[in-house]
Amino acid sequence: MTLAAAVVDEVRKRMLSRNLSQNRLARAAGMPPSLLHRAMNGERPLSIDELGAIATVLDVTPEHVVRVARRAVLATRPPIG
């Protein structure tokens, strides 16, 4: 799993927990729904600015989203040694 994919997974979890559709989240974040849709489907990465706007709507910091996503990535890697 890549960090970008894990970020999308975390955004999706928070979006669903707040009962937000992709369209509502995109509009609230000030971005075209088609851009969010493509990012959520792994067709393009979220930009830092987009993540910042999305995180604000989801009431978290972008740093928190990345931190949680990074933990998820590290948890899928085999131990070293």
The radius of gyration computed from the CA coordinates of the chain, to the nearest angstrom, equals 13
Q: Give the pTM.
A: 0.90
Segment holding 65, helix H or strand E: helix 62-76
- Report whether pLDDT(2) > 80: yes
Which residue shows structure tokens 């992709």? 22
Position 81 pLDDT exceeds 70: no
Write the pLDDT tens digit of every residue in 28-79. Answer: 999 999 999 999 999 999 999 999 999 999 999 999 999 999 999 999 987 7
Contact 57, 29 (CB under 8 A): yes
Q: Which structural domains are found in the chain, ordered by start?
A: 3-76 (1.10.260.40)
Torsional class of 10: left (φ above 0), alpha (ψ -120 to 50), beta (otherwise): alpha
